Structure 1
Amino acid sequence: MSMTSNFAVVYDACVLYPAPLRDLLMRLALTDLYRAKWTNQIHDEWVRNLLARRPELSADRLAGTRELMNRSVRDSLVFGYEHLIESIELPDPDDRHVVAAAIHSGSEAIITFNMKDFPEAALKEFNVEAIHPDDFVVDLFDLNAGKVLAAVADHRASLKNPPKSPSEYLTTLSAQGLTQTVLILTQYSLAI
């Protein structure tokens, strides 16, 4: 995978659901190393699942998060992909909208934890691949370590309630499934 600022990816709802990972992915999207994409349907899915699991959260606050995401990342919201959904075959038909958004937006990858839901054989004909968020961050680091470290440092610095030391922050990332990323970042803990 060769990434440039023309490289576009669609964030699946599952990577936007956990706040620590969503925040990191948003900060990485602002590096201009790639173009991040999503749809209102993807937003609806992560917000609905989060409110179902954590009813104490405010729907209005999550709507504000969603709006901030749309405003912060240039051309992130994909429209007009719906006509492609029927032509896509996946193990779970409910995931087809994510692939349709990737095709329509010219995205080369879907960032997801649910690798089995997006089998390589089903995506290959569309020139799209599913990438685990840990592999994605490692690839970004290989591409431009400085920009990734700056995004990570910015993310950690934004955590004020409570603030986190570098090691506490890395523990949080590890809990998000970013084990390879944490192994790399551990060597740079002074920079984050």
Structure 2
Amino acid sequence: MIRVLLDTCVLFKPLLCDTLLCIAEEEVYQPLWSVDILEELERNLIRHNITEQAAQRRIGRMRQHFPDALVEDYQDLIPAMRNDPGDRHVLAAAVAGNAELVVTENLRHFPEEAANPYGLEIVSQDKFLLDQVDLVPRAVHEALTRQVSRYRREPRTLEDLVIALGTPGNGCPQFAKRCHADSC
């Protein structure tokens, strides 16, 4: 199973995070994150008016459902990373976690010359989700269907979920377009 490090920026958005993790529940890929990523996520959630308890609950559920996602022993690698200084911890965690991909919105923070020596591919959430539809369409459909079945508020239908994921706030316009065309 492919190992994929999820950057804070894609975990921050609740709908996108749910989508990524629902697909991971289908055992399509192994999600990875680090303590630094989870701490950054908590800080950002609180900064955006999520209570500390709610932020901790969300992160606690992530850790509970994906106990093997936490990458450890990456801190010594941080100084050797040659990407954006603010995201060196992300690249170091990907290397230590034997990830094949990093999913992020901040593509410019991970230039090829920084990622290539470690055999890492850096992709946007839109590209990652498009690849999953191409590789395992049935698993993606099952994941999205299960995702909307868990919601008590909008989006309550698969179509509404796909539309929401295609908005600029979630950053998956090509994935949404493909799902509409293919009836994800």
TM-score normalised according to structure 2 size: 0.93
Distance verdict in 2 for CA 1:85–1:183, change over 3 Å: same
Shift of 1:21: 0.4
Aligned to 1:20: 15
Deviation at 1:59, TM superposition (A): 1.0
SS of the residue corresponding to residue 42 of structure 2 reads: helix
1:99 aligned partner: 91
How far, CA to CA, are the matches of 1:21 and 1:143 in structure 2?
19
Match among 125, 128, 131 for residue 139 of structure 1: 131
Alignment match of 1:70 (pick from 56, 63, 66): 63
SS in 1 for 2:118: coil
Q: Match for residue 40 of structure 1?
A: 35
Letter in 2 for 1:166: L
Q: Is residue 184 of structure 1 aligned with residue 184 of structure 2?
A: no
1:188 deviates by: 4.7
SS at match of 2:4: strand
Q: CA deviation at 1:111?
A: 0.3
Instruction: Tell me the alpha carbon deviations over residues 21-66 of structure 1, each in whole angstroms, 9 at most, x when there is no partner.
Output: 011111111111111100111011122112112x2x2211211111
Unmatched 5+ stretches in structure 1? none
Q: What's 2:79 paired with?
A: 86
Residue 61 (structure 1) aligned with residue 61 (structure 2): no
Q: Structure 1 vs Structure 2: percent identity of aligned residues?
A: 29
Distance of 1:162 and 1:183 partners within structure 2: 20
What is the CA distance between 1:165 and its match in structure 2?
3.2
- Segments of structure 2 that go 5 or more residues without pairing to the other structure are none
Does the 8 A contact of 1:157 with 1:163 survive in 2?
Answer: no
Task: Judge which range, 73-82 or 109-118, deviates more.
Answer: 73-82
Q: Shift in Å at residue 121 of structure 1?
A: 1.4
Conserved? CA contact 2:144–2:158, under 8 Å? no
Residue 113 of structure 1, CA deviation: 0.6
Query: Secondary structure at 1:41's aligned position in 2?
Result: helix
Task: Work out the CA distance in 2 between the residues paired with 1:166 and 1:38.
Answer: 27
- The one-letter code matched in structure 1 to 2:24 is A
Deviation at 1:132? Answer: 0.5
Q: What's the CA shift string for 1:105-134, capped at 9, x where partnerless?
A: 100111001100011111101111111111
Aligned residues: 182
